[in-house]
């Protein structure tokens, strides 16, 4: 393929290591992002203005914005968004103008945008057709004129540098790092990132998004790329534009998708020098604890975190924490049956509350749409003849039309604010009953109690660490016009309170914070 492209960016950027890419770039006082999976750009812009901004969310992870393959068998599945055709900003979520408008409007209300960047591969090897932006492509011929990419821009089969050692060209042996990184992931055409040209085209795409005002990237399938290649690409990212409210000389936030449940031949730690890494053990372990699998107990979470004395999680400043994501809520990715999702209504809210109350990591909340599980895990978003439907919002702030909107559940959005209020404090005054009842404080700004036992939690003189007064429990209600719509808790002198949580409660938790004082 003839590649008419100016490579002057390489000398200026690609030799520079990635730096400053562990900070979320959220507006001060905000600390949680939400993944609005498969939402339209226009709906996300509206949601930033009417809900996410006012309720303290710091950012949105959006679905891949670049042109993808149109898959009709099965009809328009979710995973077509992970089969790129070009880097044109044209998908069922919207076009470039709508994307730019979303970024501008969300930034204006203090909500940052993080793009799901699919840069490891293109479409399936056996598939050819037309993309969502009208570009033709041929997987069998490794031909993607919308970029353009040709056969020389993909890893081949062989024993040379960058070649796939597996004769079938696909990853079969996940214990072999060379095969994992040089072969095709489920027969998706694997880009030759050891070559300069693909790196330049990817960098052009990412920098276009940065210049539009996105705050960072979730890099899909990072485990299948060599860290050295990723460093060359991401080291060339532009500084974030100050006209979108970012401080000067700030680099985009980077979080890399690396599935590592421990003892992996490719550990997530290999990517710490580039940015944060998805901590899949977080949701898997918490799922087992809240489900009480193998006699796991909430009391064991007293040392929740990294290190040999804890749960073997990544260091907090290297991790993205989450209960579930778009893959493992469908049985893919990692965690299997241990993963809690919106279908596990009660336990899911408890696990989310624990995550948002605990100081570990950067936190991400999932926002899903419904589908028939197991038999139809491929189903794409609610749609009309393939065109994604708008997200209807009800008077009670929930969603309808097939959209779940977990981020709008009171028990979750109030804990997002809890995390904002207590930021900068540590975890202290932990108590438990050696079973499934726990309490802990966040400095002198927040307190949470969770009862996952099959009997009531009734304790006197519990240390809440809060100043004396009456507080609204933000799990059961909201503080509105000086009154609490749910339970209230009286905190006596020296921070002590009586705590009662029935095991029959819909939400067997209590959460109090400094800004919920009556």
Residue from 184, 190, 257, 473 carrying the catalytic annotation = 257
DSSP state of 383: E
Q: Is 213 left (phi over 0), alpha (psi -120 to 50) or beta?
A: left
**Nearest-angstrom CA–CA distance, 234 and 19:** 9
Is 220 designated active site?
yes
Give the residue among 407, 308, 318 at the shortest CA–CA distance from 360: 318
Match 């401080």 to its residue by tokens: 247
Q: Using an 8 Å Cβ cutoff, are 69 and 80 in contact?
A: yes
**Nearest-angstrom CA–CA distance, 60 and 45:** 10
Q: Using an 8 Å Cβ cutoff, are 317 and 342 in contact?
A: no
Residue from 220, 296, 324, 338 carrying the catalytic annotation = 220
Q: ∠ at Cα 361 (35, 272), nearest 5°?
A: 95
| E strand or H helix at 488 | strand 488-491
Q: ∠ at Cα 178 (174, 181), nearest 5°?
A: 80
**Nearest-angstrom CA–CA distance, 34 and 446:** 22
Tell me the three-class secondary structure of 307-350, residue by residue: CCCCCCECCHHHEEECCCCCCHHHCCCCCHHHCCCCCCHHHHHH
Q: Using an 8 Å Cβ cutoff, are 282 and 258 in contact?
A: no
Is 395 designated active site?
no
Q: Using an 8 Å Cβ cutoff, are 27 and 55 in contact?
A: no
Q: Which residues pair with 367 in a beta bridge?
A: 36
Q: What share of the chain is helix, strand, coil (3-state, %, to 5)?
A: 30, 25, 50
Q: Using an 8 Å Cβ cutoff, are 285 and 298 in contact?
A: no
**Nearest-angstrom CA–CA distance, 322 and 33:** 10
**Nearest-angstrom CA–CA distance, 77 and 376:** 10
Length of the chain counted residue by residue: 518
The residues assigned a catalytic role are 220, 257
């Amino acid at each position: 393929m003839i590649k008419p492209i100016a490579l002057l960016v390489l000398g200026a950027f690609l030799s520079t290591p990635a730096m400053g890419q562990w900070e979320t770039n959220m507006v001060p006082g905000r600390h949680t992002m939400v993944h609005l999976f498969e939402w339209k750009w226009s709906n996300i812009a509206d949601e930033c203005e009417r809900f996410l901004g006012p309720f303290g969310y710091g950012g949105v992870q959006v679905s891949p914005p670049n042109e993808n393959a149109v898959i009709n068998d099965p009809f328009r599945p979710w995973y077509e968004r992970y089969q790129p055709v070009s880097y044109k900003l044209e998908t069922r979520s919207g076009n470039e103008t709508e994307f730019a408008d979303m970024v501008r409007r969300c930034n204006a209300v203090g909500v940052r945008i993080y793009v799901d960047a699919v840069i490891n591969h293109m479409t399936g090897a056996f598939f050819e057709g037309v993309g969502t932006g009208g570009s033709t492509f041929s997987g069998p011929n490794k031909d993607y004129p919308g970029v353009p990419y040709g056969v020389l821009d993909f890893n081949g089969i062989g024993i040379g540098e960058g070649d796939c050692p597996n004769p079938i060209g696909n990853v079969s042996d996940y214990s072999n790092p060379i095969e994992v990184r040089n072969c095709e992931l489920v027969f998706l055409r694997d880009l030759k990132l050891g070559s300069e040209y693909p790196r330049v085209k990817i960098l052009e795409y990412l920098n276009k998004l940065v210049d539009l005002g996105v705050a960072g990237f979730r890099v899909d399938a990072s485990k299948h790329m060599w860290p050295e290649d990723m460093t060359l690409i991401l080291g060339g990212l532009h500084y974030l534009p100050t006209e979108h409210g970012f401080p000067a000389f700030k680099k985009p936030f980077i979080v890399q998708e690396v599935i590592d449940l421990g003892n992996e031949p490719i550990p997530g730690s290999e990517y710490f020098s580039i940015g944060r890494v998805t901590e899949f053990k977080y949701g898997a372990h918490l799922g087992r604890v809240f489900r009480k699998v193998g006699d796991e107990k909430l009391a064991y979470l007293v040392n929740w975190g990294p290190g040999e004395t804890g749960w073997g999680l990544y260091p907090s400043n290297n991790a993205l924490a989450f209960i579930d994501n778009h893959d493992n809520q469908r049985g893919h990715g990692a965690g299997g049956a241990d993963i809690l999702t919106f279908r596990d209504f009660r336990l899911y809210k408890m696990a989310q509350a624990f995550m948002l109350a605990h100081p570990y990591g950067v936190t991400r909340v999932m926002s899903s749409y419904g589908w028939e599980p197991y038999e139809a895990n491929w189903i794409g978003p609610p749609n009309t003849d393939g065109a994604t439907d708008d997200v209807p919002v009800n008077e009670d702030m929930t969603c309808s039309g097939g959209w779940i909107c977990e981020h709008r559940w009171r028990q979750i959005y109030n804990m997002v604010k809890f995390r904002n209020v207590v930021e900068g404090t540590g975890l202290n005054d932990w108590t438990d009953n050696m079973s499934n009842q726990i309490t802990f404080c966040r400095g002198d700004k927040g307190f949470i109690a969770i009862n996952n036992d099959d009997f009531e939690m009734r304790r006197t003189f519990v240390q809440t660490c809060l100043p004396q007064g009456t507080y609204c429990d933000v799990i059961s209600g909201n503080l509105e016009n000086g009154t609490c719509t749910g339970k209230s808790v009286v905190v006596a002198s020296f921070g002590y309170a009586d705590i009662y949580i029935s095991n029959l409660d819909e939400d067997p938790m209590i959460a109090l914070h400094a800004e919920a004082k009556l």
